[in-house]
């Protein structure tokens, strides 16, 4: 088996235009293309009868996200934002250089800053905080002088 590379990550959204603007304006993603799917073969692939959906593909730094808007979707009764210890995708993470500024951009674009999750001060060189997109998808913002290409963030990064 040969996995060639990551393709994309899908996020189901309640308002396609609002979410597109959020990821574009707050996180710097650029729209790559849009698609409309209806009926087969999408119904077979997604296992949804009479499926109708619109998708927007956004890209940044080689990461592609697919925002999915289903005409008929299941409204979640899960906590929003969802708890990190629930099974499944927990969050995205971005390294930032001005965490306070990015948080302001998040709020201006319709997201939420989860202040209770903040570790460190916005003026410190080390600060981590969770924010949420308009539908509650968690996004971790990391401001650290450590090499931003080093993954994952180490516990001692917050102690410096």
Q: Are 145 and 153 in contact (CB under 8 A)?
A: no
| Cα separation, 94 vs 72, whole angstroms | 31
Sheet arrangement for strand 9-12 = 9-12, 63-70, 52-60, 30-38
| 8: pLDDT strictly greater than 70 | yes
What is the per-residue pLDDT across 88-130, written as a single tens digit (0 to 9) for each? 788 989 999 899 999 999 999 999 999 999 988 888 778 899 9
Domains 9-70 and 92-158 share a fold: yes
Query: Does CATH place domain 9-70 in 3.10.180.10?
Result: yes
Which runs of consecutive H residues, i.e. helices, occur in the chain?
16-27, 42-46, 99-108
Q: Lowest-pLDDT range, 25-34, 137-146, 147-156?
A: 147-156
pLDDT confidence band for 160 (50 / 70 / 90): very low
- CATH of 92-158, picked from 3.30.1050.10, 3.40.50.970, 3.30.70.260, 3.10.180.10, is 3.10.180.10
Q: Are 97 and 126 in contact (CB under 8 A)?
A: no
For the chain, the domains span: 9-70, 92-158
């Amino acid at each position: 088996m040969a996995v060639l590379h990551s393709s994309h990550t899908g996020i189901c959204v309640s308002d396609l235009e609002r979410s597109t603007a959020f990821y574009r304006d707050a996180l710097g993603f650029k729209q790559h293309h849009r698609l409309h799917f209806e009926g087969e073969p999408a119904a077979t692939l997604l296992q949804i009868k009479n499926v109708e959906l619109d998708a927007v593909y956004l890209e940044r730094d080689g990461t592609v996200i697919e925002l999915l808007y289903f005409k008929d979707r299941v409204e979640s009764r899960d906590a929003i934002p969802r708890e990190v210890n629930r099974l499944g995708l927990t969050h995205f993470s971005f390294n930032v250089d001005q965490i306070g500024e990015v948080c302001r951009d998040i709020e201006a674009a319709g997201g939420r800053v989860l202040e209770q999750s903040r570790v460190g001060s916005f003026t410190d060189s080390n600060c981590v905080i969770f924010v949420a997109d308009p539908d509650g998808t968690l996004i971790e913002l990391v401001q650290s002088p450590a090499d931003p290409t080093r993954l994952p963030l180490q516990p001692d990064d917050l102690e410096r």
